[in-house]
Structure 1
């Protein structure tokens, strides 16, 4: 399958072609073995880069047997998002459906590529403005093409490429390990780049082969002269002057030699004088000379071609003001002058285009581009195509132009091209009045790529807003961006002011639309204000005054979910938290969103309803996979890791946390503010007996001011304390635990199972014989635990008091802890209680009963994946006279977290491709993980995988019983 267009153009340079072919052949051989390659070809204008590239891609050449997609970028399309991608993939015809179905190449996750390929197509699964779905969809489209044969993506004139297409090539190359991919880019040396940073980043981030096409040397020029004048050997002065005047440009040489030959000039001293007379602007001069004396219609058609590019004859005729027949005749005449390609209505080179347009003054050129935009509008072209003409105008302030820019921005947003959308909206902003609406829209477009500029625009919009409803709407958007960039106090302050003004203006009985706006603003304030410790107290006070809504609308469910989690953090009533959470998850008519599901799942987990919490998180994960919302997917995985830890699922927690971390590592800049995956991973590693690795993991956290955050900071301290304790540094661990308790108290977070520092402190102090201090820590948490009242909370209280009280009274407390924790989802804590009870019974002189509890502790800890706890219990058991084999690492224990995730998916019956799409990774990544899994488990086929995992807690219960469930093949 080859996509190439041929034209006349300048002759190939006499040097460079064979070298390029040899180099390309070597690169193509490497690509065929699964080694992706990037080649960057550059040279001055007119040197023949395009001819070289096309010749290298010809059938029978180095890329024979490969799928070759060739595209050329145009200046007129440089502001149009994904225009370079469409130049590459357009001829494949992927945007037309057959019998109501999309082409096979767009199956699976590749369907998300469609909006990038077609201006008028919409991806109903993804939100407007989301950039990842289109990038991911195009990746899978390329992967589908590579399933049959190696793929060559050759993009010419890349200095005019739009930023989104270059960002996608970067995205593709970062995931191309093991894929048969060759990317070849050709650019003009020292030219002004449309997407300079994107092209610079692309080249800098990937090892590439740089090939420079030099200007022709004097020897090469002499060879061309001899071919042109075979009857007369050239004089050295003729060759030297010709080389100096043309700069060795094949295009310039071709044209000047043609003029000299047709003018009867010989390659001697007479010719030298003629070359000097022609000067250095040979192309421009030849174009002007060709057009001079021609009918006005020919000149107008040439200008229409220069502005519109390759177009239908009737459209060229309309812009030129001539008939279609006259336009065809004019194009034929221009072709005879070697200004137009031989096989299509396109100028041979951009230098020719520039020369034609130089015959117009600035005003006339602006008028021509304006008429071109109107013509494209009249014939039904997409808003972005029309806007491409308008972007080149010095001013585009007419009302119809503003309307085009607004429509083009909407189109760019829908396809996930924020840079293009921003460019259109900036022009609207330049021409429009000082109103908040365009600033709000531009801020939304820039929120992902340039949040600082987005915030500045929203502050401007806030200052311009003259009614409370607009101010509240702006404040909501501003607050959410502040949350994203970790400036929550600023967002909470602005939103509080706007919300108070809205309440005052609307009174006690607002209209339904106003009531929904109020609810949205209140819910957003709860989300943003709960992020940092400095704003949490005020948010809690505000939440206490709110009446929980019924949950009939998305805004109400979002508000209800946040009220639920705030209630849970206060530790007031587990039953009430559960009731509110269930109401937030109730969704008549519409599915609840992530901002309802995630807070509700946290509250449910704190209240021991971990099954419902996992169900809610699975909904988020399923929707995120469907919509390619990878950041939400990472957030849900991280949250689920903590739920697994709550229920003693250390292996599952490690799998989720490491999968989230792998995804963050794929995307530059995503990991800067990430905290949850590292903390969850560290907590699981401590349980696995790897505290050193846990501390290394915590050291990778880059979020500034982590101590200011309400929830993550306390679990960060807990993870550090547990790692320090596992290293034998009890005093450092105790300091960290007390710092956690002090911070929780200052923040007003009283839930006893949210970062239960007091339980860890009581156990640590009791182990050191500091029983009085241990009792103080136990008493600190016992009251809140009894108020919260869940089996886990009551078990924690009994456990803390039991270890802090020597003798029979303490043993009774530990027995109660074992009983209560057995009724809770906290299996790892249940194993810890069994260990501590066995230890206490040994000290009390009851080794027989102690051995029974210690055996149970080993077995339960082992099932949870708590290797360190299992080993401690086994040591106590052996010390008490019991017999048990060493707690060794099984083959399953050797799997990394991500390998566990991949193994579970493949064991459930999904294909490698489906597993890769589900995890937002490449098929190659899945294959590498499977190779490692098979080696570690000592198996050779995927059919053996389910059996190898059958006894492990890695698989959900349904899969262990042989049931794949409805989502097994997603």
Structure 2
């Protein structure tokens, strides 16, 4: 007995299957009546899985004082004459005399086992039925026939023969049949129910309350929605519930459910199964007329089949109740048959004017696109899906289009779009398209936009020689140039200047302004033009405005991500850090929502650089690690230098030198050092070498960086301030003259005026100057760094200024500046780094023994300078605070120290004017 059947029988016998109780009671009554010599026939009908067989078995199990003869009709035995009747008579041990009589009728010679000719069918039926009737003389006989719809005609005639003669016999005939019943049984039914003693019952599917008795009240609603109350399917769900974790609705729909669906379909007629497969292919709710056209079946036949599927509980409102049921239905088809049906569905939907996406779904499932219109439709749907960030659907459409496309330009365009899709989440996977795309470009089969993409992706992967060769082919194919070619050259100018330098291409004149028109291509050109201008002339308001315009005008996609990153880098290099952070965070959130891994990684790398410039070192580490974690190093190619450099610098400034060393041991491609990202890497490595007291190694990296930037004509301190690093190393090595020369050179580079780079350069010059000349240089540097909110450098400048004042005998000012330097350093996340690397201050801050224990850190330097006789304006200038703030601090100082004026304050702090001289 199968698992499902056993479960049914147990449920029926135990009363758990509440909906079958009346049927058992009816059977008991008929059984009692038949024992009294009043023969009865009971026909139970119902859809597949409704429990007919289980009910029949449960009834048979209740009989303990009768001869029970059973048979199951089968579709593949319908042509076997008296097959069902023979099963009945061979299903139990008959009395010897009856057994011999039956054997003789069935053509068996007693004692030999050899067959002999059977009598004609009519005589055979009469003889076998007489043998059955004879058995009723001695005991109650119960005949049980399952799946009557498959019985052979002769056995049906035998059942009618018995029914006409059993009314006064001790006989009970139990029959089950599947609904809807085939037309071939209509005559049988008409004849059967003409006679008395013939009863009929139709099994219905279970209600929610009845289903609850099977699966429990909590799961009953979801189970009923998935099964329609079909006991076979409910039993499968119970079995699945023991084998897997539940879904969101608490229900487990797994292997047993799918097997039950397949089992139910196998018991249905061919037209119903064919209709089910068509419904699974088209999806529900079904349009019967469309389904009929798909299957080339009469609409009436399809309607009847849908009715049968609905009665079974597989279908509701013209669609499958559960996706697993549809999948199991499709599994009944061969792979070829399934593909062919999906292709027919695609053609049908296209002819009816269905949405292209519905047609494309059928084509991709079929794996075929033999018609030209199909390839064109797949490309259109892929474009639409890509715009909606439905990457998997776009890839499925394009892969089939590539397989089916016959013309070479079309194949190249499809392949390029596939490369873009792959690159969005896995740049390494896009590499497989590079070679065929290069061949297509060489043959003139690749479009302008795709040629630019090819050059950029080759560079990303470190294939600089191939990128150079590809650029040459492309330039030859468009003698007059193009907007896309111009964009790519500009992009290469700042990203891989070595490539254009090797080609001998001079630096073009760059004019930055509003892009002509509103096309994405024009806006992208404006972005890289702005960055190119930045590298040539330094920052300007016009360049910053141009970058902002690009960021405001474009939605991020595969064609403009490089342009948007370029615009962010303009803001970063120009020192517009708050604007850069706002835009970068906005784009990063969008990339995350759209699940574009490569975009996320690129933007996280830029976000790390922004945090680094703002001396938000923990954030810089977080964003840099996020960038490197999003993609493995091999996927980053040469672009790994960006986030890796930011991470090394941030870890170095956090005095986490072991971690920085580990990051520097990451393997990077040698081609990295032919790109801008190699410059960043060299600079970061040099800074780390300085921090761990390896000035010679640091100087080598800084100078190498400088040689490359000079050769590539992008020697802009805002990009990489290599001279500052080299000058620091030279000072450490005692070569002040060379350090001074580098600092003076840097002061005259484009874009230095009014920036933090000028402040750093002035600090280095001051370190090389005589004590008398240091003050003005350091004060100007402090002003610039205060405006730039560069706390770490500002703290260093203030410490230098403190030492300069001390060497000149200005001890009170030196002490005040030392206190101010410490306070600024504490506001920085790099205080520990500053403590280890700053010049040692020769004066400490005002101590508590000076009577200032009650003063706050902000009030102490104000009190010191006021006691030394400085005016409020002078104090504000020296401490980089407003006069109003000075006045507020002094009011609180006077109150805390109980003094009235500056003279009292000096006495209270044990200071005199002579002490500061």
TM-score w.r.t. the length of structure 2 is 0.56
Alpha-carbon displacement from aligned partner over 1:821-849 (angstroms, at most 9, x marks no partner): 44555443232222223334445655444
Instruction: After TM superposition, list the pairs within 5 Å mapping 1:230-241 onto structure 2.
Output: none
1:376 equivalent to 2:349? Answer yes
The partner residue of 1:567 within 520, 530, 533 is: 533
Structure 1 counterpart of 2:4: 11
**Aligned 8 A contact 1:740 1:757 in 2:** yes
Instruction: After TM superposition, list the pairs within 5 Å mapping 1:901-940 onto structure 2.
Output: none
**Aligned 8 A contact 1:818 1:830 in 2:** yes
Q: How many Å apart are 1:561 and its aligned residue? A: 2.9
RMSD of aligned C-alpha atoms? 5.2
**Aligned 8 A contact 2:746 2:752 in 1:** no
Structure 2 counterpart of 1:916: none
The partner residue of 1:781 within 717, 742, 746 is: 746
Distance 1:382 1:157 in 2: 40
The partner residue of 1:413 within 369, 372, 386 is: 386
**Aligned 8 A contact 1:650 1:687 in 2:** no
**Aligned 8 A contact 1:561 1:597 in 2:** yes
1:472 equivalent to 2:480? Answer no
Structure 1 counterpart of 2:549: 586
> Does the C-alpha gap of structure 1 residues 573 and 312 become closer, same or farther in structure 2, counting only changes over 3 Å?
closer
Q: How many Å apart are 1:658 and its aligned residue? A: 0.8
**Aligned 8 A contact 2:792 2:828 in 1:** yes
Distance 1:453 1:58 in 2: 56
Distance 2:661 2:250 in 1: 41
Structure 1 counterpart of 2:524: 558
Instruction: After TM superposition, list the pairs within 5 Å mapping 1:214-613 onto structure 2.
Output: 291=270, 301=275, 304=278, 308=282, 311-330=286-305, 370-378=343-351, 381-391=354-364, 396-449=369-422, 450-465=429-444, 471-487=447-463, 490-491=466-467, 493-499=469-475, 501-504=477-480, 518-535=482-499, 537=501, 541-545=505-509, 547-548=511-512, 550-552=514-516, 553=518, 554-570=520-536, 572-575=537-540, 578-586=541-549, 590=553, 595-596=562-563, 598-610=565-577, 613=580
Distance 2:710 2:216 in 1: 70
SS of the residue aligned with 1:447?
helix
Q: How many Å apart are 1:320 and its aligned residue? A: 3.5
Instruction: After TM superposition, list the pairs within 5 Å mapping 1:866-945 onto structure 2.
Output: 866-868=830-832, 870-871=834-835, 876-877=840-841, 883=847
Structure 2 counterpart of 1:642: 609
> Does the C-alpha gap of structure 1 residues 610 and 380 become closer, same or farther in structure 2, counting only changes over 3 Å?
same
Alpha-carbon displacement from aligned partner over 1:326-352 (angstroms, at most 9, x marks no partner): 32334567899x997799776979787
**Aligned 8 A contact 2:276 2:309 in 1:** yes
Q: How many Å apart are 1:750 and its aligned residue? A: 1.4
**Aligned 8 A contact 1:11 1:251 in 2:** no
Q: How many Å apart are 1:475 and its aligned residue? A: 0.8
The partner residue of 1:759 within 724, 747, 758 is: 724
Distance 1:773 1:763 in 2: 10
Structure 2 counterpart of 1:817: 781
Alpha-carbon displacement from aligned partner over 1:930-963 (angstroms, at most 9, x marks no partner): xxxxxxxxxxxxxxxxxxxxxxxxxxxxxxxxxx
SS of the residue aligned with 2:715?
coil
The partner residue of 1:655 within 609, 612, 619 is: 619
Distance 2:551 2:332 in 1: 64
Alpha-carbon displacement from aligned partner over 1:269-303 (angstroms, at most 9, x marks no partner): xxxxxxxxxxxxxx98x78xx65xxxxx6786477
Structure 2 counterpart of 1:690: 656
Structure 2 counterpart of 1:238: none
**Aligned 8 A contact 2:444 2:477 in 1:** no
Structure 2 counterpart of 1:941: none
Distance 2:711 2:252 in 1: 58
> Does the C-alpha gap of structure 1 residues 499 and 768 become closer, same or farther in structure 2, counting only changes over 3 Å?
closer
Name which one, 1 or 2, has greater alpha-carbon Rg: 2
Alpha-carbon displacement from aligned partner over 1:870-927 (angstroms, at most 9, x marks no partner): 5359993475585489xxxxxxxxxxxxxxxxxxxxxxxxxxxxxxxxxxxxxxxxxx
**Aligned 8 A contact 1:832 1:869 in 2:** no
Q: How many Å apart are 1:501 and its aligned residue? A: 3.8
TM-score w.r.t. the length of structure 1 is 0.53
Structure 1 counterpart of 2:425: none
Distance 1:686 1:698 in 2: 11
> Does the C-alpha gap of structure 1 residues 632 and 382 become closer, same or farther in structure 2, counting only changes over 3 Å?
same
> Does the C-alpha gap of structure 1 residues 715 and 327 become closer, same or farther in structure 2, counting only changes over 3 Å?
closer
> Does the C-alpha gap of structure 1 residues 591 and 448 become closer, same or farther in structure 2, counting only changes over 3 Å?
closer
Distance 1:446 1:155 in 2: 44
Distance 2:691 2:609 in 1: 20
Distance 1:734 1:68 in 2: 72
Alpha-carbon displacement from aligned partner over 1:661-693 (angstroms, at most 9, x marks no partner): 336536677974544344324323433343334
Greater Cα shift, 426-435 or 849-858: 426-435
Alpha-carbon displacement from aligned partner over 1:547-599 (angstroms, at most 9, x marks no partner): 545423443443233233223334x4444xx4233234336994586655543
Alpha-carbon displacement from aligned partner over 1:3-29 (angstroms, at most 9, x marks no partner): xxxxxx9838989x9xxxxxxxxxxxx
> Does the C-alpha gap of structure 1 residues 824 and 333 become closer, same or farther in structure 2, counting only changes over 3 Å?
closer
Q: Which has the higher contact order (CA 8 A, sep 6+)?
A: 1
Distance 2:776 2:452 in 1: 53
> Does the C-alpha gap of structure 1 residues 69 and 732 become closer, same or farther in structure 2, counting only changes over 3 Å?
farther
Alignment coverage as a number of residue pairs: 618
Alpha-carbon displacement from aligned partner over 1:359-386 (angstroms, at most 9, x marks no partner): xxx7x98775544333333555443443
SS of the residue aligned with 1:715?
helix
> Does the C-alpha gap of structure 1 residues 185 and 729 become closer, same or farther in structure 2, counting only changes over 3 Å?
farther
Unaligned runs of 5+ in 2: 11-210, 227-239, 423-428, 850-917
